[in-house]
Amino acid sequence: MNADQLRITIAGAGIFGIWQALTLARAGHHITLLDRHPIPFADSASQYAGAMIAPFCEAEAAAPLVQQYGLEAARLWREQYPGLIQKGTLVLAAPRDQNELKRFARMTVGHETVSGNRLADLEPDLAHRFSTGLYYPDEAHMTTPEAMRNLLDKAHAAGAHSQFGSSLDDAETNPTLAPKADMIIDCRGIAAGDMLKDLRGVRGECILIRSQDIILSRPIRLLHPRHPLYVVPWSEDRFLVGATVIESENTSPMTVRSALDLLGLAYALHPGFGEAEILEFSAGIRPAFPDNVPKVIVDKPCQRIHINGAFRHGFLLAPVMAAIVRDHLAGKLTEHPLMRSI
């Protein structure tokens, strides 16, 4: 093994962990990816993500650096994942909520105002229900489970090894699971809260539904003063409906109230959703720092790097977080706006 090749154990096979495994394996490091759940992705907060690569839309409520590095991350996604669907994002509002649409336009760039024939060309199923909207042509989306499987396969092809059903504690007591690590990359999300005191959990909920009667080509964001909604078209006539954000670490199943809120807004977007099949209700805890921006946290004394705080921007920024760690380990990067030391 060359001096610049490290034995690295990555804990947590969510979107952060998979991007770390792929990027660091391609950099020549010896990678073991651990996840405590025996079924890939089943215990990951990433499964609740809409997986929208939307740096312009996210700028409405995020720090400027999210858009800055989100644009860089979008390029990396395009290079690495052929399943990325690059058809933009459409933002809409009901007639009574047009002030929300105007506010959203003021807070963001990279959009054009669409109405009439232009709106009908973009989304024929919605044109008769909405008179105007904001179209962000340079944004993209993906089907979350397919994207994660694809990246994991690419990490394996690059030489990374994975052990599902195994945790860091298991590896420490059973050396056959992973060789003794020169570095640990901790991507465990909220499970790392005992080591990251400013990490908090934010409950997120979503519903997966299926309908052959509705055709959407891109993510739709329906603005609402209380509960903005997003609907992301997945493969096989499936739609991910989400947006509830609750400052709570309660891991219980979705409540009836949340389900009614999400389904009611989906019905308001298109009545055809009233006949859709509900495939799954999901609720999970997403890790967040006080500023809601993900971080690379270097703990030199412990030979550990934390990648955490995915919350809203995990899929968007995961490629950049992996590049930061790669360059830091190569001695090319000692500071970055998304990196700090403890």
Q: 């690379």: which residue's tokens?
A: 296
Dist CA 280 CA 168 (whole Å): 30
- pLDDT tens digits along 274-290: 999 999 999 888 999 99
187-214 per-position pLDDT tens digit: 999 999 999 999 999 998 999 999 999 9
Asked if 115 contacts 125 with a C-beta cutoff of 8 angstroms, the reply is no
pLDDT in single tens digits along all 342 residues of the chain: 455 799 999 999 999 999 999 999 999 999 999 999 999 888 777 876 888 999 999 999 999 999 999 999 999 999 999 999 999 999 999 999 999 999 999 999 999 999 999 999 999 999 899 999 999 999 999 999 999 999 999 999 999 999 999 988 888 788 777 788 999 999 999 999 999 999 999 998 999 999 999 999 999 999 988 888 999 999 999 999 997 678 888 889 999 999 999 999 999 999 999 999 999 999 888 999 999 999 999 998 889 999 999 988 999 999 999 999 999 999 999 999 999 998
The answer to whether the CB of 280 falls within 8 A of the CB of 208 is: yes
pLDDT for the residue numbered 16: 97
Residues facing 142 on adjacent strands: none
Judge contact between 119 and 132, C-beta under 8 A: yes
Query: What pLDDT shows up at residue 1?
Result: 46
Segment 148-157, tens digit of pLDDT: 999 999 999 9
Largest CA distance in the chain: 64
| Domain assignments of the chain as residue spans, ordered by start | 7-48+144-198+291-341, 89-137+200-288
What pLDDT is attached to residue 244? Answer: 67
**Residue pointed to by tokens 């706006």:** 337
CATH number, domain 7-48+144-198+291-341: 3.50.50.60
Does the domain at 89-137+200-288 match CATH 3.30.9.10? Answer given as: yes
Helix ranges restricted to H, the chain: 15-26, 55-58, 64-80, 98-107, 116-122, 124-127, 144-157, 168-173, 256-269, 314-329
Count of CA atoms in the C-beta half-sphere (13 A) of 209: 24
